[in-house]
Structure 1
Amino acid sequence: MNDAVPRAAEALAAAAARATPCPPIRDLFADGDIDAAYAVQRLATQRRLAAGHRLVGRKIGLTSPAVQRQLGVDQPDFGALFADMALGDGGTVPAGRVLQPKVEAEIALVLGAGLPGPDCSAADVRAATAFLAPALEIVDSRIAGWDITIVDTVADNASSGLFVLGDTRESPDAVEPADVEMRLLRGDELVSQGTGRDCLGDPLNAAAWLASALARRGEPLRAGDIVLTGALGPMVAAVPGDVFTARISGLGDVTVSFEGAAA
């Protein structure tokens, strides 16, 4: 293993443990070396699994053109979801749990069957999906000031933080993911909006991209996995006291607050 891979993984782990963001890690690698960045992510995932954490699914990032423009990248990526990253609908993010949080609204799907093939289609995803749910992802970066390239965010588990699934459970035959409309509110203020088509044209396309990418790496999606399919609109920075609600047509609402909100 290139010694830059464990060095990068250690820097990101230390940033999380100390609650102090670190400088970008991209200079440890050749320009744009995404394979090396995924090696960092894979090492960090293996270490979490060895420590007893439970993998529950995957997230897709950078699917929205608006988010790509916000971060200056031009392609999607993926990261791992662990059980301790999940909050219940209406839950609260404890103070200090995340370093530089931003919130984005998306569609989650839970698989009823695996997707092992490297040439997965949107139709394959639809057939394998047990249900859809509205979701909020609290993205986070261990890199100071969100000064990231695609290499930094991939290495940093696709800038994962926490996630919230709404209580709604809808069949993929009852809701057309590409046609949904999303409104993200901070309190009563509309702060982000978009549609299912803002996620790689269709959230099912995003999930198919993910399934294929993981299958090619020998880590296929399996029955029971949660998949966060990607932002439907721009992400929004969060501060203590904020309360966010995503309203996704056909799927309902999902809410999260950040500790410090008024009673």
Structure 2
Amino acid sequence: MEPTAVREAAAQLLLAYEKGEPTVPVIQSFPEATITDAYRIQQEQVRSWVAAGDVIKGHKVGLASRAMQQQMGVDQPDYGHLLAGMFHLEHEPIAAEKYLQPRIEPEIAFVLGRRLSGPGVTVADAIRAVDFVLPALEIVDSRIKDWNISIVDTVADNASSGGVVLGSKPTLLTDLDLRPVGCTLQLGGEMVATGAGGAVLGSPVNALVWLANTIGPLGIDLEPGHVVLPGSMTRAYPVRAGDTVTADMGALGTVTAVFAA
């Protein structure tokens, strides 16, 4: 795609945010768009948000589990940016109308203590860089009408990022193997899903390695203090005003998101 087309595609998505109305798929408006183009469109929006005063606070890996890939009809992970304006306090009411088509999913969040710069990052490097982990709920959202997305659409749309709620119980990686960590997801007091850390590329740590090595050649580092969401342990579930969602991750603790009525 020519630079002008990249800017036009980014403007299409930014207008969906502004108007609060989903748009047609990017791939429909720009059928020549590749995944590389989609990341350029994503970056164009990130530059716009940062110029308006927001701050990059981390990254997310999307579509890292087979459950999510099957749900969204794709066959590979992607990544997006987490900005300060996306973070919500646990138990504090979240305005559901801020989102267009919100869904929620449980994740194990990494908080970094050291910089990770790919390529060449190993599992050992990734583990050494993690300060602690937290239970988390990610609010995913799509600016594409009816979630009718291809891999190009979700990448261009900042990996369908929406919001993040972090739990408050930190755990050191040396204290726990993340692969067998189980999770139950409750929506409105009813258990809707169960999952495990191993559903995320075999281990959430593998998703962290994939992310560092994927964005490193693009000149993007994972910085100390950044939050990394490695991918969902279950399918994503729609949420609406008045919902309360809790993820219980056993020894990792719980995290609750409350949507204002």
TM-score past 0.5 threshold: yes
Task: State the distance in 2 between where 1:142 and 1:98 align.
Answer: 9
Determine if the alignment matches structure 1 residue 182 to structure 2 residue 180.
Answer: no
Deviation of the 1:48 alpha carbon: 1.0
Could you tell me which residue of structure 1 aligns to residue 209 of structure 2?
Answer: 208
Show the counterpart of 1:18.
19
Matched, 1:75 2:76: yes
Q: What is the distance in 2 between the residues matched to 1:149 and 1:231?
A: 18
Aligned partner of residue 206 in structure 1, secondary structure: helix
Aligned residues: 260
CA deviations on 1:117-139 (whole Å, 9 max, x unpaired) are: 30212221111100000000000
Q: 31-40 or 12-21, which moves further after superposition?
A: 31-40
Quote the offset at 1:178 in angstroms: 1.1
Matched position secondary structure for 1:161: strand
Contact 2:90 2:258 in 1 (8 A): no
Between structures 1 and 2, the one with greater helix share: 2
Q: Tell me, what secondary structure is at the counterpart of 2:60?
A: strand
Query: Is 118-127 or 105-114 further displaced after alignment?
Result: 118-127
Separation of aligned partners in 1, 2:60 and 2:169: 19
Distance 1:249 1:176 in 2: 12
State the Cα distance separating 1:51 from its structure 2 match: 1.3
Provide, for residues 168-222 of structure 1, a one-character-per-residue CA deviation record: whole Å limited to 9, x for no partner. 1010101211120011001221112111110000000001000111111110111
CA RMSD of aligned residues (A): 1.2
Question: In the alignment, is the contact (CA less than 8 A) between 1:136 and 1:254 conserved in 2?
Answer: yes
Q: Separation in 1 of the partners of 2:248 and 2:175? A: 17
Match of 1:159 in 2: 160
Cα pair 1:192 1:235 within 8 Å, conserved: no
CA-to-aligned-CA distance 1:211-256 (integer Å, 9 cap, x gap): 1111111101111111011100111011211110001122110000
- Counterpart in the other structure of 1:120: 121
**Alpha-carbon distance change, 179 to 214 in structure 1, aligned in 2, over 3 angstroms:** same
Distance 1:152 1:179 in 2: 32
Of all paired residues, the percent bearing the same amino acid is: 42
The structure 1 segments of at least 4 consecutive aligned residues displaced by more than 6 Å after TM superposition are: none
Q: How does 1:1-263 map to 2 (within 5 A)?
A: 1-30=2-31, 33-260=34-261
Could you tell me the TM-score, scaled by structure 2's length? 0.97
CA distance in 1 between partners of 2:92 and 2:213 (Å): 33
Distance 1:3 1:27, change over 3 A: farther
* Aligned counterparts of 1:156 and 1:24: Cα–Cα separation in 2: 10
Q: TM-score, normalised by structure 1?
A: 0.96
SS of match in other structure, 1:227 = strand
**Contact 2:60–2:228 (CA<8 Å) still a contact in 1?**
yes
Letter in 2 for 1:122: V
Aligned 8 A contact 1:77 1:154 in 2:
yes
SS of the residue aligned with 2:179? helix
SS of equivalent to 1:90 = coil
Q: Give the secondary structure class of the aligned counterpart of 1:230.
A: coil
Residue 32 of structure 1 and its aligned partner are, at CA, apart by 6.6
Secondary structure of the residue aligned to 2:54 is coil
8 A Cα contact 2:9 2:30, kept in partner: no
C-alpha deviation, 1:31, in angstroms: 5.7
Any conservation in 1 of the 2:88–2:164 contact (CA below 8 Å)? yes
Provide structure 1 residue ranges, at least 5 long, that are not aligned to the other structure: none
Letter in 2 for 1:53: D
Tell me if the contact between 2:118 and 2:214 (Cα under 8 Å) persists in the aligned partners. Answer: no
Displacement of 1:98: 0.6
SS in 1 for 2:67: helix
Deviations 1:86-117 (A, max 9, x none): 01111222141111000000000100000113
Partners of 2:187 and 2:36 in 1: how far apart? 37
